[in-house]
């Protein structure tokens, strides 16, 4: 192998028999998109939600209200006493949706 070809393999006649890798990847991605279930969460300002609490107190969830959408999947949540947390949509649970996460073993602190 000379220095000009170092790190890559030259293409030969038999390489034409191999399937197109990009087509295989594209097909796999299309299958993933088709199989993905669920609907994106639609949250609006003033919605009452439970948001993930990462403070040292140890409580997993805290109630709050959506203040604004800060990005495509991020929201600012008012949890009371002037505290505003920025959270990803996966760290927010609308109060009316009790099937998304089990709250039976978590402690909930009412904040709003």
* Tens of pLDDT, residues 36-47: 876 667 889 999
| Per-residue confidence band for 105, with pLDDT thresholds at 50, 70 and 90 | very low
Bridge-based pairing of strands 61-69 and 108-109 is parallel
In this prediction, residue 100 carries a pLDDT of 46
104 pLDDT above the threshold of 50: no
By residue count, the chain amounts to 112
Domains of the chain in sequence order: 48-109 (2.30.30)
In this prediction, residue 68 carries a pLDDT of 93
| Per-residue confidence band for 19, with pLDDT thresholds at 50, 70 and 90 | confident
| Alpha carbon distance 82, 87 (integer Å) | 16
């Amino acid at each position: 192998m000379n220095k000009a070809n170092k790190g890559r393999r030259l293409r030969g006649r038999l390489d034409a028999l191999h399937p197109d890798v990009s087509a295989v990847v594209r097909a796999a991605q299309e299958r993933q998109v088709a199989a993905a279930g669920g609907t994106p969460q639609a949250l609006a300002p003033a919605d009452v939600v439970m948001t993930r609490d990462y403070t040292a107190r140890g409580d997993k969830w805290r109630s709050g209200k959506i203040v604004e959408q800060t990005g495509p999947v991020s929201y600012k949540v008012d949890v009371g006493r002037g505290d505003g947390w920025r959270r990803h949509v996966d760290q927010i649970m609308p109060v009316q949706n009790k099937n998304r996460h089990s709250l039976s073993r978590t402690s909930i602190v009412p904040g709003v």
